[in-house]
Amino acid sequence: EEADAAFLAGDLAGAEELYRTVLASEPQHVAALCNLGSVMQEQGLLDAAKDLYELAVQASPTHADAHFNLGVMLQETGSLSGAEESYRRAVDLVDDHSEALANLGSVLHAQSRIPEAIDVYREATKVFEKQTREPQQQSALEPTSAAALYYA
């Protein structure tokens, strides 16, 4: 929790130190691996971030957010086929993973697979609409959902 608070406060060095402390005692702590990956990503250390996300996926192959984070990193670095695979795995694990659906649509669109992208954007839109109707999920739509709504 302290590491998360440091990260949210923009204290990347403090967050990194705290996540590394957790990982020193629990090397396969998936949340710490993913969050340290996010710290590395924020610092522009993309290879380090990718390695941490891959370790998170290896540590817990059924952790949807680990696959999602890896997908974001792969998409950001131009590995669209790898990103697609990661997003599909996240959605296979959690079928209403709205961000993974929206990002999958974006990857398919970037690959000029427009009919597939439209189908995925439509599914993402349905999930977003369902989530925004549920009180515990009331939040602003992610920027990626704007594309989902546009193409749906």
Can you give the residue ranges of every domain in the chain? 1-60, 80-152
Topology of domain 1-60 in CATH is: 1.25.40
Amino acid letter for position 48 = A
Give yes or no for residue 138 having a pLDDT over 50.
Answer: no
**Angle of helix 46-59 relative to helix 64-76, nearest 10 degrees?**
160
Residue 152 DSSP code:
-
Instruction: Read off the pLDDT of residues 90-100 as tens digits, 9 standing for 90 and up.
Output: 999 999 999 99
Give yes or no for residue 1 having a pLDDT over 60.
Answer: yes
Q: Is 86 exposed, middle or buried (0-12, 13-18, 19+ CB in 10 A)?
A: buried
Instruction: Read off the pLDDT of residues 33-86 as tens digits, 9 standing for 90 and up.
Output: 999 999 999 999 999 999 999 999 999 999 999 999 999 999 999 999 999 999
Which residues, in sequence order, are CB contacts of 36 under 8 Å at separation 6+? 15, 16, 19, 20, 23, 52
**Angle of helix 64-76 relative to helix 30-42, nearest 10 degrees?**
20
Residue 143 DSSP code:
H
Better-predicted residue by pLDDT, 1 or 30: 30
Share of the chain above pLDDT 90, in %: 83
Q: Do 1-60 and 80-152 agree at the fold level?
A: yes
Give yes or no for residue 140 having a pLDDT over 50.
Answer: no
CATH H superfamily, domain 80-152: Tetratricopeptide repeat domain (1.25.40.10)
Answer for the pair 87, 117: CB distance below 8 angstroms, yes or no: no
CA distance 105 to 149: 11
Structure-token match 């990626």, residue found = 144
Indicate if the alpha-carbon torsion angle 69, 70, 73, 74 is positive or negative: negative
